[in-house]
């Protein structure tokens, strides 16, 4: 495989004005870009950084899952920066909105923040924070993003994942990064100032669960009815309208319905 070329300078020029001390780092390999930025934050390093890995040996997903991505076939990066929003609710949904809008109008969002293409998972987001403590609103925030460029092998999965090249045939990691990373940095500033409110209608526009029969991991079932002002998933169940907020509750569309 020829060495990948990364548009580090163009990224820096676009993103640095809004992020004091910002750097772009590309590593050939690391365990996980999220783990690395969280380690740095715990060691007292809280600089704004875009950390890109060509290969991750221990990529992490939500709820303790593993995230697999083949070199050249996936874009994997984390953006670390200090944020101090008035309300953190809806942050990961706002990230999903931003990435999907930056990529393609056919991309939908599956609560809370997976990007779906043609009813299959295209990309995942893992948001983690460090620091803060009582009395401080400010936390170092690591937004990790994994986007499949080529559709991975779906063996062992209930639904095969999607790849961005299905709609953007020659999509390369560098150009995709240039589309999404500056947009993400700008969106995080908007989220810090205004919270989830400006992102909610845009989320609803791409919500793939809307009006679908869903099954929650805690056994409840119902019909998805959008998200509330704080990004909680609304579900009409036999017991009435419930709001699902716990990131520990996963939700999937009921394909048999
Ligand atoms: C999910 O779908 O559950 C979230 C997947 C997040 C994967 C990205 S890849 C870059 C960053 N580093 C990680 O270890 N995870 C995120």
What contacts 116, CB < 8 A, 6 or more positions away? 107, 108, 109, 110, 122, 162, 208
* pLDDT tens sequence across 52-97: 999 999 999 998 999 988 888 999 999 999 999 999 999 999 999 9
Ligand 1: which residues within 6 Å by Cβ? Answer: 32-34, 56, 59-62, 65, 67, 76-78, 114, 124-126, 144-146
> Ligand 1 centre and the CA of 57: distance in Å?
12
* pLDDT tens sequence across 56-65: 999 999 989 9
Q: Is 145 helix (H, G, I), strand (E, B) or coil?
A: strand
Whose alpha carbon is nearest atom 7 of ligand 1? 146
Q: Clarify whether 110 is annotated catalytic.
A: no
DSSP string, 79-116: EEEEE--S--TTHHHHHHHHHHHHH-TTEEEETTTEEE
Residue 119 CA to its chain's centroid (Å)? 17
In this structure, the chain runs to a length of 257
Q: Clarify whether 186 is annotated catalytic.
A: no
Q: Clarify whether 165 is annotated catalytic.
A: no
The pLDDT, as a whole number, for residue 123 is 97
Comparing 1-5, 25-29, 140-144, 228-232, the range with the smallest average pLDDT is 1-5
Ligand 1 atom closest to residue 62's alpha carbon, by position in its atom list: 3
> Ligand 1 centre and the CA of 228: distance in Å?
25
> Ligand 1 centre and the CA of 27: distance in Å?
16
């Amino acid at each position: 495989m020829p060495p990948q070329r990364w548009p580090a300078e163009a990224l820096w020029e676009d993103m640095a004005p809004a992020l004091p001390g910002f750097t772009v780092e590309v590593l050939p390999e690391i365990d996980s870009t999220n783990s690395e930025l969280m380690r740095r934050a715990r060691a007292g390093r809280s600089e704004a950084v875009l950390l890109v890995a060509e290969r991750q040996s221990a990529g992490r997903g939500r709820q303790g899952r593993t995230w697999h991505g083949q070199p050249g076939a996936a874009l994997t990066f984390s953006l670390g920066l200090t944020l101090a929003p008035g309300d953190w609710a809806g942050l990961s949904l706002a990230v999903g909105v931003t990435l999907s809008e930056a990529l393609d109008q056919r991309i939908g969002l599956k609560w809370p923040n997976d990007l779906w293409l043609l009813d299959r998972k295209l990309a995942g987001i893992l948001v983690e924070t460090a620091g803060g403590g009582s009395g401080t609103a400010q936390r170092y925030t690591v937004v990790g993003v994994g986007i499949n460029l080529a559709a991975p092998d779906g063996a062992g999965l209930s639904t095969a994942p999607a790849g961005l090249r299905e709609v953007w045939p020659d999509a390369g990691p560098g150009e995709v990064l240039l589309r999404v990373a500056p947009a993400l940095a700008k969106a995080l500033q908007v989220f810090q100032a205004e919270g989830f409110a400006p992102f909610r209608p845009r989320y609803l526009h791409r919500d793939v669960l809307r009006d679908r029969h869903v099954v929650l991991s805690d056994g409840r079932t119902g019909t998805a009815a959008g998200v509330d002002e704080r990004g909680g998933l609304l579900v009409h169940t036999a017991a009435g309208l419930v709001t699902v907020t716990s990131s520990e509750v996963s939700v999937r569309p009921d394909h048999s319905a």
